[in-house]
Amino acid sequence: MKIHRLFLMLTSILVAWSPFSLAQNYPNRTTKIIVPFVAGGPTDVQARWAAQQLNVGLGEPFIVENRVGGGGVPGVELVVKSPADGYILLAGNPGPLTVAPGVRASMPYQTTKDLAPITLIARTASCLAIHPSVPVNNVKEFVAYVKAHPDQINFGSPGVGTVGHLSVELFAATVGIKLNHIPYKGASQYQNDLVAGHIQLAQVQMANCLPLLKQGKIKTIGITAEKRTPLAPEIPTVAEQGLPGYQSYNWNGILAPAGTPKSIVNKIHSILSKQLATKENQELFISQGFEPSNISPEEFANFIQLETEKWAKIAKAADIKE
């Protein structure tokens, strides 16, 4: 009889801790979304949007916690090493997830193995922006101008090994030109220098690019999107100007530690997917220069895999190391 009771007790404990049970009871306390960057940036803003949707949809607090430093890598490491129970999530972007693995000598995690992608919230393309003093208006003219003025064209980026750096290196390698890289400590710094004419080229995210274009402070030779943006349909993509397949996006998404029960991943994804599909939120993201996404966790995982491989290939070809 005692053995029977012990068996029943152990069975009940196992059931209570099964993935299905965890998902049924999830969430029953506060969940943290770790943002590995400063407050106020796109990743932080979209993480707070996600937290608000999950607060309402799941009825428990979801709070954002900023863990700043190290290009976002320490914040990601914190999530990777957290329990895979859905109560610690990550607001991720390309920097520490798909770019850093290709440029850093060592990493404390493997993005494609140590994280469970949940939802790609949105992505944004950029302008290949130039100072108005550069007498060109498209990719073909820019390439010809650079070849006629060797070693005279400087481009800025947020730092070595960032998307803003590798994307321009990819462009330069594709069209066969050499550009001088000037790394900065942030986007606002190199954008100010671009407007001032201290550098001639930079990749500038759409939200910042479009106002500067309208003010005549910069020009653009094309955008890095797959197709033209509805915010400025008159601007051609780089791809349609003889570089098919060329694209570069910054993006933000929600991930969890690897091993998080699939049922919890699906529950979070379901809430965010439903909200991303609404007209109100579609218009909100588009107005901010972002393309709202609505892909499955599996598609998000595949997206991350392809992005990681792409940037690693470019970093190796250009001998970019950090």
The answer to whether the 30-124+250-317 and 126-241 domains have the same CATH topology is: yes
Q: What is the pLDDT of residue 22?
A: 59
User: Phi and psi of 91, rounded to 5°?
Assistant: -95, 105
Residue-wise pLDDT tens digits, 234-282: 999 999 999 999 999 999 999 999 999 999 999 999 999 999 999 999 9
CA–CA separation, 239 and 243 (whole Å): 4
* Range of lowest pLDDT (11-15, 80-84, 114-118): 11-15
3-state secondary structure of 203: strand
Residues with Cβ within 8 Å of residue 122, at least 6 apart in sequence: 46, 251, 252, 285, 290, 291, 292, 293
What is the value of pTM for the model shown?
0.84
Query: Is 297 within 8 Å of 119 (Cβ atoms)?
Result: yes
> Count of CB atoms within 10 A of residue 32's CB?
19
The topology (CATH level 3) of 30-124+250-317 is D-Maltodextrin-Binding Protein; domain 2 (3.40.190)
**Nearest CA to 107 among 73, 69, 71, 70?**
73
Residue type, 260: T
Query: Is 175 within 8 Å of 145 (Cβ atoms)?
Result: no
**Nearest CA to 272 among 19, 33, 22?**
33
CA–CA separation, 91 and 64 (whole Å): 9
**Nearest CA to 32 among 96, 82, 93, 94?**
82
Q: What residue segments make up the domains of the chain, in order of their start?
A: 30-124+250-317, 126-241
Q: Does domain 126-241 have CATH number 1.10.357.10?
A: no
Residue-wise pLDDT tens digits, 308-322: 999 999 899 888 887
Residue-wise pLDDT tens digits, 8-53: 555 555 545 555 555 679 999 999 999 998 888 889 999 999 999 9
